[in-house]
Amino acid sequence: MVNRKFNLEELTNFFHSINPNKSQSTYNTMKYNLMRIAKVANIDFIDIDSTTLNPLIFVPQMSNYSLNTRIQTVLGIELWIKYKLAKLPHSAKQKITLYNNLKTKWDVILKKMCADKNVEINKNEMTDKEKENWIDFEDLRSAVINKVWKELSLEDDEGSIVTTYLKWRDLTLLSFFTLMPPTRIGNYEKMKIRYKKISDVKSYKTDKNYLMINSDAKAPHKYTLCFNQYKTSKFVGQITEPIKDETMIKLLDRYIKIREVLLPIQKRDLSNTDSLLINSDSNSMSQSMITETLKKTSFKVVGKKLSCDMFRKIFLTWFLADDSKCIEDRQQMAKFIGQTYNPTIMEKYRKIKHKLPPQKYVLNFD
């Protein structure tokens, strides 16, 4: 019993039981944190033990990861240790002492990492990796718009439907993070398609996110995003916003058409056929697959391997540089991307004398 090994499902269930009110995105993040432990150590998950988690060995193995990823991995390590302690019998005093000491060491490391992260955040400086992958938002958006319209003007090759689908899926995914304010990956992971009137949104189950399609030609908006499940949903609540960008609308028209050819939505088998983003095998895209697809597609279009985090940094650097944005504008944008914007007292004193001419691209929901 003392040396019993644990599988991934045990740990994720344990995390769910001690954190019952977290969003699905949070549970997924912890799952990936745990999986990363095995990846870093280059072993099967079930073989993780106290030797694997020796900080002197494990910390150097994480050197190529970003500070944020290292912090998340340590959170996974501490969860593993916590579960191990919960399963040890009271008579195993030596083992209990061993794992308590191990947790104390990781507590110190985590505290130091978090302090370094705060210093990094407060400086607002780009890391070397960010500089290497940086592109100004207007240049990024222009390149994506040009790519979309170029593809829309061409006829699809008469080849495999899978190849055609993947091309439009990857471009659509990239556009969700450039033609729309870039929210988190979890907002789109396992998003469902719904052909219903927008007024029916309150009748949808709130355990999923939706792309709502209104086929009524008189409807003010054809596509509306509805986010129920995401990292900060507990604090921000349900978010529904119509898609107004002309390029995004035309792209979705093409994508949905191809998507339904590959996998028609069947009412009798809705849960297996209604996912917005799927792989060639018709299964929903995983978070890691979405990340890799974003990097691959952004590299093809602009020569930069952009992660979700980089899309958000690039966009917010542009958005917050506009001094004509009032507090309400910033709060509205923050809500869409799953954050809360709390202005300081000093910012509330600031007055906007004149509304500046709009920037070349204005993303708002007016």
- Give the pLDDT band (50/70/90) at residue 49: very high
Structure confidence at residue 357 (pLDDT): 56
The 10s digit of each residue's pLDDT in 292-311 is 999 999 999 999 999 999 99
Whether the predicted pLDDT of 361 surpasses 70? no
Q: What's 361's DSSP letter?
A: S
Residue keyed to tokens 């507590």 = 107
Task: Decide if 243 contacts 365 (C-beta within 8 A).
Answer: no
Check: CB of residue 2 under 8 Å from CB of residue 96: no
What's the confidence (pLDDT) of residue 359?
Answer: 52
Taking the C-alpha atoms of residue 77 and residue 80, their distance in angstroms, rounded to an integer, is 5
Domain edges within the chain:
8-123, 132-349
What three-state secondary structure class fits 284? strand
Q: How far is CA 150 from CA 143, 144, 145, 158, 166, in A?
A: 11, 10, 9, 18, 17
Q: Residue 183: what pLDDT? A: 94
Which pLDDT score, from 0 to 100, does residue 204 have?
76
Tokens of 209: 């996110």
- Domain over 132-349 is classified CATH 2.40.50.140: no
* Tens digits of residue pLDDT in 112-154: 999 999 988 888 888 888 888 899 999 999 999 999 999 999 9
Tell me what pLDDT residue 157 has.
Answer: 80
* Stated pTM of the model: 0.74
Share of the chain above pLDDT 90, in %: 63
User: Are 290 and 185 within 8 A, CB to CB?
Assistant: yes
Rounded Cα distance between 257 and 237, Å, is 31
Give tens-digit pLDDT for 68-117: 999 999 999 999 999 999 999 998 999 999 999 999 999 999 999 999 99
User: Is the CB of residue 41 less than 8 Å from the CB of residue 52?
Assistant: yes
What distance in Å separates the CA atoms of residue 214 and residue 155, rounded to the nearest whole number?
Answer: 26
Q: What is the pLDDT of residues 205-255, one digit of tens each?
A: 788 999 999 988 778 889 999 999 887 787 888 889 999 999 999 999 999
Provide, rounded to the nearest whole percent, the portion of the chain with pLDDT above 70: 94
Cβ partners under 8 Å of residue 227, min gap 6:
183, 187, 209, 233, 238, 239, 240, 338
- Give me Rg for the CA atoms of the chain: 23
Residue 40 above 60 pLDDT? yes
